[in-house]
């Protein structure tokens, strides 16, 4: 149904008349694990929104393990995340836009990061060619760069970036390709418009006070936690949402990238580079829900490293963020392109700004 990922407008045409199906009502502890219990599908002509795993962490600079993120999120989201969002009234599965788990990106050269990124990029070009909107689960944050190379092949995109780190660093141990640098490289390659980029939740100790200078010099809007806390304290979460709209706008294509270390490690300890003093899960959920008027072309959830969290809570929270992305994209795309809603959408208007 969706016929273009990027550009000033997204064109619509009918595919098959069938719609996505609500996940099975059988016991949630039975059956094969898929993201959010969505049906598994390899025929991209039958997919509008694709949930895809990117199990690659060859770009980490310290603690590995995010390659196991997609598997952990699949398992927990199959068992613990139900199909209806009480906060927004959206049921994302039973709508015209068909949601499927389309499997994992196969990285055939994991020991060569540039070749690995090429593998990822090639497979995302297939998604773009098939007009599939991707919601991706990493993997370390370096995987967003090859995703951008496919999604932004027709022009630079904007980004709402939740993270403890700006990820605009430079060379590290002889390579500019690592999980601390994807967005500098993306700007350098003309994939990301820095003036339409907002980075939310930045904090923590650094080895160099100028580590994130590129973000500031290039024109990105960097919201450090101190400023963010003051904004929320005085103007509520809506003030942060408003700032995101000021930066990214509503017309040009925008991507949402969410590193779980944006959240305080009391919620998500299972990540490679945790930083104390972060966002709460509820604050993040409310911010994501407020982005529905943007021209969204995809989203990712990265840096879930389950081995550092025996409680599985990090994977659970990660799955909840993916669920929020899916609800957001389903409702936003239907609203923007006037696609009829199937069944009760409840409080769908809560996703959209009234100002």
pLDDT tens sequence across 105-122? 999 989 999 999 999 999
Asked whether the predicted pLDDT for residue 27 surpasses 90, the reply is no
Mean of the per-residue pLDDT values of the chain: 87
pLDDT for the residue numbered 22: 57
Asked whether the predicted pLDDT for residue 93 surpasses 90, the reply is no
pLDDT band at 30 (very low <50, low <70, confident <90, very high): confident
Asked whether the predicted pLDDT for residue 350 surpasses 50, the reply is no
Asked whether the predicted pLDDT for residue 1 surpasses 80, the reply is no
The answer for residues whose C-beta is within 8 angstroms of residue 113's C-beta and 6 or more apart is 58, 59, 142, 175, 177, 178
Strands 157-162 and 253-259: parallel
10 Å CB burial of residue 234 (0-12, 13-18, 19+) is exposed
pLDDT band at 23 (very low <50, low <70, confident <90, very high): low
251, 236, 245: which is closest to 295 by C-alpha?
Answer: 251
Tell me if residue 74 falls in helix, strand or coil: helix
C-beta of residue 355 within 8 angstroms of C-beta of residue 246:
no
pLDDT for the residue numbered 28: 78
Beta bridge partners of 299: 135, 256
Asked whether the predicted pLDDT for residue 175 surpasses 50, the reply is yes
């Amino acid at each position: 149904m969706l016929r273009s990922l990027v550009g000033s407008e997204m064109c619509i045409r009918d595919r098959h008349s069938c719609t996505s199906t609500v996940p099975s009502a059988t016991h949630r502890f039975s059956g094969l694990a898929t993201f959010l219990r969505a049906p598994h599908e390899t025929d991209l002509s039958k997919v509008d929104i694709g949930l895809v795993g990117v199990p690659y962490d060859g770009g980490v600079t310290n603690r590995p393990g995010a390659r196991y993120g997609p598997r952990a999120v699949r398992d927990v989201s199959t068992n613990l995340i139900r199909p209806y969002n009480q906060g927004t009234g959206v049921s994302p599965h039973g709508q015209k836009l068909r949601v499927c788990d389309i499997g994992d990106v196969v990285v055939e050269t994991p020991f060569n990061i540039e070749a690995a990124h090429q593998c990822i990029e090639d497979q995302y070009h297939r998604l773009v060619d098939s007009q599939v909107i991707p919601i991706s689960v990493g993997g370390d944050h370096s995987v967003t760069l090859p995703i951008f190379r496919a999604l932004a092949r027709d022009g630079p995109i904007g980004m709402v970036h939740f993270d403890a780190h700006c990820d605009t660093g430079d060379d590290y141990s002889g390579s500019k390709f690592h999980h601390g640098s994807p967005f500098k490289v993306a700007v350098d390659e003309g994939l990301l418009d820095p003036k339409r980029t907002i980075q939310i939740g930045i904090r923590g100790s650094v080895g160099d006070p100028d580590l994130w200078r590129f973000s500031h010099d290039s024109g990105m809007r960097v919201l450090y936690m101190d400023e963010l806390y003051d904004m929320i304290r005085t103007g509520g979460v809506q003030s942060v949402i408003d700032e995101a709209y000021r930066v990214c706008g509503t017309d040009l294509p925008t991507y949402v990238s969410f590193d779980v270390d944006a959240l305080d490690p009391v919620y998500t300890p299972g990540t490679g580079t945790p930083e104390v003093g972060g966002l709460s899960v509820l604050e993040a959920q409310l911010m994501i829900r407020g982005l529905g008027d943007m021209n969204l072309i995809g989203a990712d959830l990265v840096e879930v490293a389950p081995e550092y969290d025996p409680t599985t809570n990090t994977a659970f929270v990660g799955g909840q963020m993916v669920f929020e992305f899916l609800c957001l994209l389903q409702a936003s795309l239907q609203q923007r392109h006037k696609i009829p809603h199937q069944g009760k959408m409840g409080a769908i208007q809560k996703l959209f700004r009234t100002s």
